[in-house]
Structure formats: C-alpha cells, structure tokens
C-alpha cells in the first residue's frame, strides 16, 4: 500500500571514481583495487539499475562516472585483466570449499559465476555500452567531471579549464551525451570556479552540506552565475555512511576488513566492533538479508521525516540529496546493492518523489544565490586533506610540474606547425596524472601513502624528462620518451594539447 505522498523530492547521487591504476602495480594497491571495485560495485550496481529500468522505472538517481574511471572500464588491458580476475575469483571460491569452508565457498562460487556471466555478456567491449544503455533509457542522469580528478581549487586556471572541457568531451565521445551536471572532484570549490563551469556549459554541481551552511533543501545559484550548487544532506547521508556509524557497521553485515588469507575471501560478519577478526561469527547471507530489509525501512522513514520537516521549515517543498561513493555499494558494504535496489522501490511506494539533480533543477527546487566559499567534502570541510602540512611537498610538486608542463607546451606552441604533436600530448597527459587529487588524499589518510607518493613522483618524473628533452632540442629522444610513457599511460587517446588555452 502506498503511503501518503510527502512534499518535495529525494535525490540519490553516486560518485564513481578510481585513479589511473592500469599497469601501475597489482597488489596490494594497483589493478587489484580496480578489479575488486568492478566486481563488487560496478557490476552489481549496473545490474540493479537495469532491473529497475526493466520495470519501467526512470530518473532513479544521478550517477557520476569520472573520465579516468571510464577510461579504465573501456581499456583493453583492464578488460582482459578483469576477465582473468573473475575466473580466479571462482577458483578461490572452489579452494575455500575444498578446504572445508563449504558454505563460504559455495556462496562465493555462485557470486563469481554470476559476475563472470554478466561480464562476458555485457562488459567485454567495455563499460561504455553498459552505461549508455542506462543513460538512453533515462534510468540515470550522468554526471561528468574533469579528466583525471584534480583538486580544482589548487589547480592553475588554464589546466583547470582544459581538464573540465576535455572531461565533458570525453563523456560525449563514450556515451553520446554531454553531461550538464558534474561531481566536482572532492566537492572542492573556490570562488571563480562557477564562471569556468558556466563557460563549459555546466548547469549544476555537487558540494557538501556545510558549504551551504547546512541548508541543502534547494539548489543555490552561485553568486551571479546561473550555475546551481546542490548540497549533500548530511543528516540523511550519514544515516547510511558516516565516519562513526551507519548501516554497514551493523553486526549482521559482512565484515570488510577480515580476510581468509589463503583464499582472499571474507568469511565473517561484523559481529561487534570490539571483536577481533579470528573471533568474528561466520557470515550468514540470510541474516544479512533480514538486516537489509530493516535498514531499508529505516532509511525510507528517515527520508519521509526529513522531507516533511524541511518542507515545513522553509514553507515550500524541499529537496533532500543523499550522496555517496558508488564503491560503498558492494565493495565496502557487501549488501549495499541489495539495499540500493530495495530502497529505490520502497521510496515511491512510501509516497516519496524520486528524481535526479537535473529533475530538481527543472522542477524549480532553486533558492536564492549563495556566495559559495572555499570548501570540500573532506575532513573539516576545508582543503586540509589536499593542502595541509602532511602533503605540503605534494602541493609544491604539483605547482612545479604544472608550471614546467605549461611553460614547455607554450614554447612548443611557438614552434608548432599546426600538426598534432604526440610529445606535447603525453607531456600534458602525465601532468594531469601527477596532479590527481587521489595522491594527496591517500597520503593525508595514510592509506597506501607510499604508493600514492610514488605515483605522484613517477608522473612528475615523466614530465621532467620529456620537458628536458624538448627544451634541450633532443626531439627524437623526446618522441621516444613520450612513446614509452604512452605505453603505460595511454588513457584519453583523444587528448590534444593544441586545445589547451594559450597564456594570457
């Protein structure tokens, strides 16, 4: 039975992103991270959206897919690696069963077999056909973003503009659709970026709730621009996932951190936050399924109450936006895709209007302009994760590398004859990889910090040696270096340095 309709609109936003991992290590950080997220999140989340679309449901959520992730989901090397990984997953499940853990082994075997069939049927030619089917069916609104996920507030304005316009063009190339909305990397913002967005054709973007002083009930034009900032409702979002609580930490759900080291499988449920890994209870899918139903009911109740309360507070129908990393659903929270599918069915049945950010804009969920200030969705909601003392060296490295790359490209421009130059293209490609926001994030959070620093310095080294060859007049050497780096970092083959704005 449908509950009484409530005022306003609920919007779910998912942000899908991983840094460029192809050919840059395998384990414990590298391609394994990509394949785990692909198998655990991207495959099942796409299946959930297909299931709902097949029921005639549309405008389900706004899905951000960063260009650098999209590039990996289309990359032939990654596609082959993923197929191999899925086969290996099934073998590991069989090993668990033969080693005596029959319940775990059989459960994992079923999951791996289904994932392998799904991948072979739908994904072997890349992720683009999968996402395009959902975009064309209007099941989702696609959100785009800058090419390699830079922390934009700290980025040179020329490179910031280039990454954004090229990121939107990359989306059109893959999916036949240019996003009008974006997920700003790390929700990072500094005044003036709204003008860059407007110039690129972006009509709306995401910020975290505190950037709007917690009033996220309406999209807000930024200063005197037509570009809307939509804010994440922390009260609702933290119900699912927060630094200290949320559904995935409940005792019945699968424990993310505890592994069976022989097979790499996860045999336990959370059990209790103070319970050591070996002492945790075995995972029980039926027990977890019951918990999913409980938490779906809780979330629907939370959204209804929030919409009713906020609509009454502002005197008009309110917007509630919950936003999460896509990788939460399946990778971090094993039961997340189940919960997602049930929630997207249950909300309309409970009288909640579900729509995308574009729907909110079209339906007039727009308030007064806001003088948006420096902000992010990181710790402290400021820039400390990407600009704080622990990553001061990376901030300085980024500034040096961007300056070197742009200066070298400007000199090459003087000598250019109008023909596309693969050396210039690779120089620019390595520079944007060097300034990915992921490296500083991983260092600040002490998550594979050594790998992150190595990656930043590796791409910086590529820029330095290509630039040195160019400025030293060693053009043949520069060509050889560029070709060598392209073999590892050949993402965005359409990237063309000639489209970079010249110096002001």
Asked if pLDDT for residue 417 goes beyond 80, the answer is no
**pLDDT for res 273:** 86
Same domain for 65 and 212: yes
255 as an active site residue: the answer is no
Same domain, 399 and 477: yes
Two structure tokens written together for 477: 């050497």
Round to whole Å and give the CA distance between 265 and 234.
33
| pLDDT tens per residue, range 262-291 | 999 999 999 998 899 899 999 999 999 999
When pLDDT is cut at 50, 70 and 90, the band that residue 502 belongs to is confident
Question: CATH code at 324?
Answer: 3.20.110.10
pLDDT of residue 2: 53
User: Does residue 439 lie within any of the structural domains?
Assistant: yes
297, part of any domain = no
CB 406 within 8 A of CB 458: no
Question: Considering the domain boundaries, does residue 83 fall inside one?
Answer: yes
CATH number of the domain within which 479 lies: 1.20.1430.10
> What pLDDT, on a 0 to 100 scale, did the predictor assign at position 1?
41
Tell me how crowded residue 447 is: count the other CB atoms within 10 A of its CB.
12
User: Residue 118: what pLDDT?
Assistant: 98
Between the CA of residue 479 and those of 423, 424, 465, 483, 498, what are the distances in Å? 6, 9, 11, 6, 17
Check whether residue 452 and residue 409 sit in a common domain. Answer: yes
Q: What is the pLDDT of residues 56-73, one digit of tens each?
A: 999 999 999 999 999 999
Tokens of 483: 């070709």
Residues 359 and 450 in one domain: no
Residues 459 and 437 in one domain: yes
Range of the domain at 401: 385-499
Mark whether 3 is an active-site residue: no
Structure token digits, residue 134 = 């959902």
Examine the fold and report which residue of 371, 394, 414 is the final residue of a domain before the chain moves on. 371
Residue 471 lies in a domain: yes
Q: Are residues 364 and 439 in the same domain?
A: no
Whether 309 maps to a domain, the answer reads no
Alpha-carbon gap, residue 72 to 20, rounded angstroms: 7
Q: What is the pLDDT averaged over residues 110-117?
A: 98
178 CB burial (10 A radius; 0-12, 13-18, 19+): middle
pLDDT tens per residue, range 378-404:
999 999 999 999 999 999 999 999 999
Residues 6+ apart with CB under 8 A from 140: 49, 60, 61, 62, 63, 134, 356
Task: Tell me the pLDDT tens digit for each residue of 341-360.
Answer: 999 999 999 999 999 999 99
Q: Name the pLDDT band for 95 (thresholds 50, 70, 90).
A: very high
Would you state the pLDDT for residue 297? 98
Q: Span 217-246, mean pLDDT?
A: 94
Cβ proximity of 318 and 218 under 8 Å: yes
User: Which among 31, 186, 255, 430 is annotated as catalytic?
Assistant: 186
* CA distance readout (Å), 97 to 93, 101, 131, 260, 280: 6, 5, 35, 12, 19
17-42: pLDDT as tens digits: 999 999 999 998 999 999 999 999 99
Residue position matching structure tokens 């739908």: 122
- Same domain, yes or no, for 19 and 132? yes
The verdict on 328 and 461 lying in the same domain is no
Final residue of a structural domain among 310, 338, 371: 371
Same domain, 349 and 389: no
Asked if the structure places residue 23 within a domain, the reply is: yes
Q: From CA 382, how far away is CA 92, in angstroms rounded?
A: 43
Residues 140 and 236 in one domain: yes
Same domain, 187 and 336: yes
- For the residues of 190-205, what is the DSSP string, one character each? -TTHHHHHHHHT--EE
The mean of the pLDDT values for the chain is: 96
- Whether 147 is covered by a domain: the verdict is yes
Q: Which residue out of 260, 284, 297, 325 is catalytically annotated?
A: 325
- Structural domains in the chain (count): 2
Shared domain check, 359 and 407: no
Other Cβ atoms closer than 10 A to 372: 22
Is residue 283 situated within a structural domain? no
Say what the pTM is. 0.97
């Amino acid at each position: 039975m449908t509950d009484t309709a409530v005022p306003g609109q609920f919007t779910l936003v998912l942000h899908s992103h991983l840094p460029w991992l192809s050919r840059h290590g395998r384990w414990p950080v590298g391609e394994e991270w990509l394949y785990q997220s692909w198998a655990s999140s991207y495959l099942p989340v796409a299946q959930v959206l297909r299931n709902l679309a097949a029921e005639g449901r549309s405008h389900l959520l706004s899905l951000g897919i960063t260009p650098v992730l999209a590039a990996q989901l289309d990359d032939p090397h990654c596609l082959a690696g993923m197929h191999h990984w899925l086969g290996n997953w099934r073998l590991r499940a069989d090993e668990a069963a033969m080693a005596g853990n029959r319940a775990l082994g059989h459960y994992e075997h079923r999951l791996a077999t289904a994932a392998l069939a799904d991948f072979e049927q739908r994904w072997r030619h890349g992720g683009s056909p999968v996402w395009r089917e959902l975009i064309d069916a209007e099941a989702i609104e696609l959100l785009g973003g800058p090419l390699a996920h830079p922390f934009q507030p700290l980025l040179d304005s020329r490179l910031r503009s280039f990454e954004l316009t090229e990121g939107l063009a990359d989306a059109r190339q893959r999916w036949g659709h240019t996003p009008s909305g974006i997920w700003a990397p790390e929700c990072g913002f500094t005044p003036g970026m709204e003008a860059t967005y407007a110039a690129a054709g972006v009509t709306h973007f995401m910020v975290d709730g505190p950037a709007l002083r917690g009033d996220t009930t309406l999209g807000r034009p930024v200063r005197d621009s037509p570009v809307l900032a939509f804010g994440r409702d922390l009260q609702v979002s933290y119900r699912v996932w927060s630094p200290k609580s949320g559904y995935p930490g409940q005792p019945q759900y699968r424990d993310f951190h505890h592994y069976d080291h022989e097979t790499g499988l996860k045999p336990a449920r959370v059990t209790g936050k103070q319970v050591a890994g070996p002492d945790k209870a075995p995972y029980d899918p039926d027990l977890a399924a019951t918990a999913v139903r409980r938490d779906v009911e809780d979330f629907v109740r939370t959204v209804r109450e929030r919409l009713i309360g906020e609509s009454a507070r502002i005197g008009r129908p309110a917007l509630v936006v919950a936003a999460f990393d896509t990788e939460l659903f399946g990778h971090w929270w094993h039961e997340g895709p189940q919960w997602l599918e049930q929630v997207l069915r249950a909300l309309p049945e409970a009288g909640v209007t579900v729509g995308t950010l574009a729907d909110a804009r079209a339906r007039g969920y727009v308030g007064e302009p806001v003088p948006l200030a420096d902000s992010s969705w990181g710790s402290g909601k400021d820039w400390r994760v990407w600009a704080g003392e622990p990553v001061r060296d990376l901030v300085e490295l980024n500034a040096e590398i961007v300056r070197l790359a742009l200066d070298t490209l400007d000199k090459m421009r003087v000598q250019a004859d109008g023909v596309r130059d693969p050396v210039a293209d690779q120089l620019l490609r390595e520079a944007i990889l060097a300034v990915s926001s992921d490296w500083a994030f991983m260092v600040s959070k002490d998550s594979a910090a050594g790998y992150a620093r190595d990656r930043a310095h590796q791409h910086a080294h590529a820029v330095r040696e290509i630039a040195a060859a160019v400025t030293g007049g060693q053009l043949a050497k520069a060509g050889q270096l560029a070709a060598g780096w392209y073999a590892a970092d050949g993402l965005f083959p359409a990237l063309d340095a000639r489209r970079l704005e010249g110096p002001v």
